[in-house]
Amino acid sequence: MPKRWLTGWRVHGQIAERLRERITTGAYPAGAALPSEAVLSAEFRVARNTIRRALHALEVEGLIVTVPAKGRIVRTDGYVVDSAYRYQVIARDLRGRIERGDLAPGDALPSEAELCWLYDVSRNTARQAFTMLEREKLIVSRHGKGRFVRPQG
Amino acid sequence: MPKRWLTGWRVHGQIAERLRERITTGAYPAGAALPSEAVLSAEFRVARNTIRRALHALEVEGLIVTVPAKGRIVRTDGYVVDSAYRYQVIARDLRGRIERGDLAPGDALPSEAELCWLYDVSRNTARQAFTMLEREKLIVSRHGKGRFVRPQG
DNA sequence: ACTCAGGGACGTCTAGGGACGTCTCATGTT
DNA sequence: AACATGAGACGTCCCTAGACGTCCCTGAGT
């Protein structure tokens, strides 16, 4: 039985198999984040590219989902995993409150500081959420005063 | 003797006086950074704007220098204080090596990782230094290979 | 009336840390 | 010869923390 794991040919295939096991056995539970490429390449003592090939296979099989700048998540059976960035979550919430009329045209939105507190994010992230809504022309910003739901559609 | 320090009129004048003392007595030594506006306003239990008025006075008097995003520095007698950002320092060094011919046209520059190590900065800061030199058209970047001194001036 | 202080909101920048994405090239396996 | 791997470079984005800059407005002191 040739002990040639992790050498020469098809290393990425073998790593993919091991990762597949960890997912099916629940070592990497559904919805959880996988270790990063850097961590995995350190664990298997293998180049980052090799890890990426293995992960790519798992993604094609639909076992995991990749989110740039965030990481990889084990897919939940038949369900959409949360692959949203923090600022997108905040923007979505606010957008909902505006579209439901919960926040009427002219109303003041929560301030940056309030959003930081509410969502436990940095000011930059809160601002990024606002920036999205401003680009969508849903809100306007007034220097020194605050942000407001844009009057008349 | 009306004990009305820090109340009503001219609070910022009184704070300026106290800070002036700290500088002349060496509590804030020359070349050192002052506490931030937030810290000072907490210490004197005063609004940030009030602190800013006091600091503005000291700056006009030439006692301190303000560097946005960095802080305020006590001026050294007759000398220019180091008010440069980290990425500017790195860019200046590299620019010097290029202009001296130490790095000739076509030569490879240190990689981002090397710069991080050499200057103990984050990759973002190293990249910002490179970005400056690229804008100055002193260097060019080649994806996957590295950065090089621009051929023929 | 006028000025100042307080407090808060938004604007802009530096800096650090991390994840994935893409590309190049030398080396080794088959 | 063909392919995979290892190693490393640059590219882009997310997120956090913190500094100073600007503006608005209310209320208190004179």
Residue B10: pLDDT band by 50, 70, 90 thresholds? Answer: confident
A108 touches strand D (CB under 7 A): no
Question: What are phi and psi for residue A117, nearest 5 degrees?
Answer: -70, -45
**Where do the domains of chain A lie?**
11-74, 86-149
At A102 the pLDDT is 97
B90/B112 Cα distance (integer angstroms): 11
Classify each residue of B110-145 as buried b or exposed e, where b means 16 or more C-beta atoms within 10 Å of its C-beta. bebeebbeebebeeebbbbbbebbeeeebbeeeeee
Question: DSSP of B46-59, one letter per residue?
Answer: --HHHHHHHHHHHH
Q: Whole-number Å distance, CA B90 to C1' C23?
A: 26
Cβ of residue B36 lies below 7 Å from strand D = yes
Show which positions of strand C are touched by protein (CB under 7 A): 4-25, 28-30
For A49-73, the pLDDT digits (tens) are 999 999 999 999 999 999 999 999 9
B146 touches strand D (CB under 7 A): yes
* Residues in chain A with pLDDT values less than 70: 1-9, 78-79, 153
> Which nucleotide is closest to the Cα of A70 by its C1'?
C19
Whole-number distance in Å between B136 CA and D13 C1': 25
- C1' (D28) to CA (A91) span, angstroms: 40
Determine the protein residue whose CA lies at the shortest distance from the C1' of C29: A8
CB-based contacts of B148, cutoff 8 Å, min separation 6: B106, B107, B108, B109, B139, B140, B141, B142
Q: Which CATH number fits domain B86-149: 2.40.30.10, 1.10.150.80, 1.10.15.40, 1.10.10.10?
A: 1.10.10.10
Residue-averaged pLDDT of chain B: 91
pLDDT for residue B1 = 31
Q: Is the CB of B8 under 7 A from strand D?
A: yes
Backbone φ and ψ for A14, nearest 5 degrees, come out as -70, -40
When pLDDT is averaged across residues B95-114 and rounded to a whole number, the result is 98
A11-74 against A86-149: fold identical: yes
CB-based contacts of B16: which residues, under 8 Å, 6+ apart? B53, B54, B55, B57, B58
User: pLDDT band at residue B78, thresholds of 50, 70 and 90?
Assistant: low
Please determine, looking at this structure, whether the domain spanning B11-74 carries the CATH number 3.40.30.10. no
Instruction: For residue A109, give the DSSP letter.
Output: P
Per-residue CB contacts under 7 A with strand C, chain B residues 60-79: 68-70
Q: What is the distance in angstroms measured between the alpha-carbon CA of A145 and the sugar C1' of D25?
A: 9
Cβ distance A91 to A129 under 8 Å? yes
Report pLDDT for B9. 64
Query: pLDDT tens for residues B22-63?
Result: 999 999 999 999 999 999 999 999 999 999 999 999 999 999
- Reported ipTM: the value is 0.91
